[in-house]
Structures are given as structure tokens and as C-alpha cells.
Structure 1
Amino acid sequence: MDPSISIFGDWGTSRLRLYLRQGKSVLDRRDGPGVSALTTSPEQTFLDLVGDWREAGPSGAILCGMVGSRIGWVEAPYAPCPASAADLRERVLKIEADGLPVSIIPGLSCVNPLGGPDVMRGEETQILGALELDPALKRGRHLLVLPGTHSKWTVVEDGAITGFLTAPVGETFALLRQHSTLAAGLGPDVVGSDAGYAMGLARIGEQGPALLPHLLFETRARQLLNGLSGGDAMGFLSGLLIGADAAAARRWFGELGRVTLIGAPALNTLYGQAISSAGGETAAIDGDSAVLAGLTTLSQTKNSDFHVLA
């Protein structure tokens, strides 16, 4: 066993990303199915993917995301907000896979700004990683947004995650794109255009996020009556959904000011435009870099059998 070598993993609903690390260097990367697309057990899927990596003698694996949910490998109970890196380390769930120690990071729960229950799994690790990549985020109060299938608007205060609010923007777009008349007749290769996206943002700016249900149908009507192309229509739909998310955020978080985005570059760009339209400004952090930094932070605990050397 080599204490400098470890396996990191971000295992979500739709995909799995595994990294073989030595210190802070990535030696290899492999992708696999998300927990909702497994054809074998999570343990067997994991062992099949890391099989030859075992020859390097990794000291263990640390995984975050939906792998720790009720539909994942084993449930890691949520940690309540406010939560710091230390709070999450204390709640790491430890199991074994064919003799390899595996640590599963718990997700977070909170009462969101609307007074309802909310949860996240995986994003907490990216947030803690962002704090390491930009240490200024550890001081004071900051608003962070993690765009994606379930976009998370998150408040961090003095290094602790104090609360968040989820909007299933990506999931809603996918459902409307695949199963509604708004995209009827459009093939799967039709990609939303920048011009259509800007049109959707402008429409939300004119009418406000409360009218989103009514504005959505314009995606169809504009194709039928105004000759809107399929690409512009899908961009328009995306602009409506993301624009409404950003515009509505002001109701709960006040003037947006500076917002830190943590996600894939393309999504960071789209959300950056929407937040700018809503009066804020943004800085972006790559989501993959954030999750690696977060897993590194959460693996460094003196009381754990699994410790990654920096």
C-alpha cells in the first residue's frame, strides 16, 4: 500500500468520474455510469473500473455524490447546515470493497430560504474545494451558484455552508426538450443558439420570473408563427429557465453583487450571462478542479485510516 496514492471519485446520478492520484497529481482518469444507470451493483461497478489501478497500491478511495444516497452504494446520512469541512469529515461513512478502504462523503441538508427542506450530494465537496482554490471565500459571507441538473444557490459564511436553495433547471430543460410539444419535431442534434439564449434572457427581463409558465409556451408559438429556428428555440427555452432562476434569486438573496460559479465552463458562461442580466457579477471556478480540491480537503484527517499526502 502506498499512502501517497489514492482513488478519488465523483459519482452522481448520470455519471461517474474516477481519478487515480499520487499526491496532487492525476495519474489516470476513468468515466463510468451514474447510479441511476447501473447494470451491476455499485461495488462491482467500482471494482471493475479500478481493477488494474489496484496494482499501484492505493491506500483507499474517497467518493462523493449520489453514491451515498438511498439509490447509491450505501446511504451516508446528511449533515445539517451550517457545516464546515470538519463537520463533514466527522460524518464520513467508511466501508470496504474487496479489502480496499472506501470513504463516502455525506451530503448536506438545510431549511432553505423558502422555509422548506432541501438537500445536496456532491456539491458540498465542490464548495469546499472552491474555498481551497479561492481562500478569500473562507472569510465573510459569499453567494455561490453550482449550475447543473439541480442548480444550487448556496451561502457560505466564514468557511461554513450555512444554507442553500435548489432549482432543477437542467432537469426541467431536459424534460421539456425530450417530452413536451415545445421541441416537437426537433432532432436530438439540435443545439440551442447564443442568439436564442439572449432572447430568452431578455424576455425574462421584460416580464419577470413569475410569468415563466406563460413564457415557456412562446418556445412553441414562436416556431409556428414567427419562423423561429429549432436552434434559436432551444436557446430561447434555456434562456427562459436560467434567466428566471437568476432573476428570482434576488427575492431571497437580495442584490446579487459578486457571485462565484462552480461548474462546467459552458454552464458557468450561461449562468454568468443570466446573473449579469439580473444585476450581478461573477467569478468562475471549474467544477472538476473544485471536486478534486474538495476531496483532497476531506481526506486529510488525522483520525482516518485514509489520508492523502499533499
Structure 2
Amino acid sequence: MSSTRPLITIDWGTSSLRGARLGASGQVLESREFPRGILTVPPGQFEAVFHELFGDWMQASGALCLISGMAGSRQGWQEAPYCPCPAGFTELGQHLLWLQPGRIALVPGLSCLGTDALNTPDVMRGEEVQIFGALQMAGRDNATLVLPGTHSKWVQVQGGRVTDFQTFMTGEVFALMSQQSILGKTLDLSGAFDEAAFLQGVNQSQQAGSVLHHLFAVRTLGLFERLSATQLPSYLSGLLIGEELRTQTINTDSGAVILVGSNTLTQRYSLALQHLGIACQSHGAEATWAGLFALASAC
């Protein structure tokens, strides 16, 4: 892409839509955010919503727009088939789905196959640009990255290419356990985050025994007043995040683990990792724009 060409970057998720107009060196010139995730858009109306919210930006001569996230899903604007791993900028660029040739494209997301007996597939949409953006910002070609969220991702990168990743339903399980299970009768979600209780959960996750048993113990710790109702959510959070960490073999030879996501979640993962003696660094929402800028530059 020519450095003088206007670049519009869009992150269109399930529940929200945000965009940024980037300058020649990738700096954010202007940004917008709307509660217009793909679930709010009627079938066939994606183009109309896009032009309503970003049409003025697209009027710039030679404007290029890259759209990442769930807009490329089966429920989105148009399905962009996943790009299989291993994949880097070159492979992503080759799999862009052009809605308007040379002008508007959907970033495809990534897929990989597990090494288990079923070769279980895994997928991501939107996180791939965060990964490459964080790598650019960190100046790294080899790394383990963690993207916390409703469905947390653990990602392995070698030579600037995503070689493997795994998805964990940590955030969703926390919501289900704390709001729709018997545990919800014991804990109080209105309290402040309790670091000590969180680390107790992390420690317990590293002990022998099934996580299913450890989950029920959230209730009994409350019943026997070992932890207060306001401490229990932090304990549960530590237990689930710790379970994620327990399953991972983390190679620190390539440097600190890179966390990408909101401050609230990356702070918790950082706390758990450091408690277990694992160095890490964090990047926020800016990784999305950095990744889309780098992808556009490679096109």
C-alpha cells in the first residue's frame, strides 16, 4: 500500500463496532465507536450501516479499508473463509476477501488443527490482527501470546507466523458459574477485586484434583466462611485463569509472554503469571490498529 493512501481500519465485533482513520506512520488520526455489532445489523444491511457510519471517511481519494472481526463470519457482512495456520502477513494478505476490489476487504481470521486424536479444529476472528499488531509493537518474531476474553486464546508464533493456538471458554464459564449456577447463590459480584482471594484461586488450580471439584469448593468455602461472598468472585476468577495456565507449557526462551486485551483482564492474567514466576508484558486496544496498519502495508 502506498504510504500516502488514506487507510480506514474497522474492528466489527459481535456487540460493538469501532473504527480508526490512520496516518502515514500508523498513528490514529480519528476514531469512532458504536454499539452496532453484527447481531444488531439485519441481513443485507451491512453495507448500508458501514456507509452510514464511515462513508465520509471513504470519500477520501484512494481510501483503503480493512475490516477485521465477526463481519467476516457466517452471520456477518460476507463470510471470509479462515486462513489456515501457519500464517503470517503474507498468508493473511492472500486470503483477504475483497468486497470492493482494491478498496474494501474483510480480514479472514485463522484456523488450525489440534494434535489430539480428532485433530480438533480451532478458529479465531479479529484476534489475528491484535496478535500481529502486538508483535510489531514489541519488535518480536517469536512469542507466546495470550488474548483474554470471553473465549481466551493462547497463541504460538515462530518466525512472525502463527503456528498454533488454543481457545479456552474461561470468561464464559466464569459468567455461567457466577450467574446461572448454584455458585451464584453464594457469591456477591458487587464487591471490589480481591487480589489475595484471586491468588488463592490461582494456587488451588495448580493442586492435584479435578477443576470440577475445585469449582464446587467455591460454594463450600463460602458456606464454611473461609471466604466472604464478596471474595468468592475473585477466587473463582483466579481458579479459572489458573486452570488455563496449568494446561500450558510456556517457553520463556523467546521472551516474556505477551498479553493483549482490556486492562481489567490483562492485569489479572499478569498477576497470575507473575505469581507463578512467568514474565509478561501487556498491550491494549491499540494492537488492533497496529496490526491492520501492518497488514495494509504488506498488501
With the shorter chain as reference, the TM-score category is 0.7 to 0.9
- Secondary structure of the residue aligned to 1:300 is helix
Aligned to 2:267: 269
Aligned to 1:294: 291
How far apart, CA to CA, are the structure 2 residues paired with 1:201 and 1:187?
A: 19
- Secondary structure of the residue aligned to 1:217 is helix
Query: Is structure 2 residue 122 aligned with structure 1 residue 118?
Result: yes
Going from structure 1 to structure 2, the CA distance change for 1:241 and 1:70 (only over 3 Å counts) comes to: same
Aligned to 2:222: 223
Aligned to 1:160: 161
The offset of 1:198, in angstroms, is 1.8
Aligned to 2:94: 90
The offset of 1:30, in angstroms, is 1.8
Query: Is structure 2 residue 134 aligned with structure 1 residue 130?
Result: yes
Going from structure 1 to structure 2, the CA distance change for 1:38 and 1:194 (only over 3 Å counts) comes to: farther
Give the letter aligned to residue 45 of structure 1.
V
1:198-228: CA deviations, max 9, x gaps?
22112213x24x5211111222222232163
How far apart, CA to CA, are the structure 2 residues paired with 1:148 and 1:174?
A: 11
Going from structure 1 to structure 2, the CA distance change for 1:254 and 1:42 (only over 3 Å counts) comes to: same
Aligned to 1:25: 27
Aligned to 1:107: 109
Aligned to 1:78: 82
The offset of 1:255, in angstroms, is 7.2
Aligned to 2:38: 35
How far apart, CA to CA, are the structure 2 residues paired with 1:191 and 1:34?
A: 29
Query: Is structure 2 residue 179 aligned with structure 1 residue 175?
Result: no
Going from structure 1 to structure 2, the CA distance change for 1:195 and 1:220 (only over 3 Å counts) comes to: same
How far apart, CA to CA, are the structure 1 residues paired with 2:186 and 2:65?
A: 45
Aligned to 1:258: 256
Aligned to 1:61: 65
Task: Give the % identical residues.
Answer: 37
Query: 5+ residue gaps in structure 1?
Result: 303-310
How far apart, CA to CA, are the structure 2 residues paired with 1:232 and 1:39?
A: 42
How far apart, CA to CA, are the structure 1 residues paired with 2:60 and 2:228?
A: 53
Give the letter aligned to residue 241 of structure 1.
L
- Relative to the length of structure 1, the TM-score reads 0.84
Query: Does the CA-based 8 Å contact 1:10-1:65 persist in structure 2?
Result: yes
Give the letter aligned to residue 258 of structure 2.
T
How far apart, CA to CA, are the structure 1 residues paired with 2:65 and 2:91?
A: 20
Going from structure 1 to structure 2, the CA distance change for 1:79 and 1:233 (only over 3 Å counts) comes to: same
Give the letter aligned to residue 212 of structure 1.
V
How far apart, CA to CA, are the structure 1 residues paired with 2:271 and 2:170?
A: 15
Going from structure 1 to structure 2, the CA distance change for 1:21 and 1:176 (only over 3 Å counts) comes to: same
The offset of 1:100, in angstroms, is 10
Aligned to 1:184: 185
Going from structure 1 to structure 2, the CA distance change for 1:299 and 1:196 (only over 3 Å counts) comes to: same
Going from structure 1 to structure 2, the CA distance change for 1:162 and 1:178 (only over 3 Å counts) comes to: same
Give the letter aligned to residue 157 of structure 1.
Q
Give the letter aligned to residue 152 of structure 1.
K
1:71-98: CA deviations, max 9, x gaps?
11111101111111011001101114xx
Give the letter aligned to residue 121 of structure 1.
R
- Relative to the length of structure 2, the TM-score reads 0.86
Query: Does the CA-based 8 Å contact 1:153-1:166 persist in structure 2?
Result: yes
How far apart, CA to CA, are the structure 2 residues paired with 1:176 and 1:17?
A: 30
How far apart, CA to CA, are the structure 1 residues paired with 2:53 and 2:190?
A: 30
What is the aligned-residue RMSD (CA, Å)?
A: 2.7
Going from structure 1 to structure 2, the CA distance change for 1:112 and 1:277 (only over 3 Å counts) comes to: farther
Instruction: Tell me whether 6-15 or 148-157 shows the greater mean CA deviation.
Output: 6-15
1:91-111: CA deviations, max 9, x gaps?
101114xx9932110111111
Give the letter aligned to residue 292 of structure 1.
W
Aligned to 2:151: 150
Going from structure 1 to structure 2, the CA distance change for 1:42 and 1:190 (only over 3 Å counts) comes to: farther
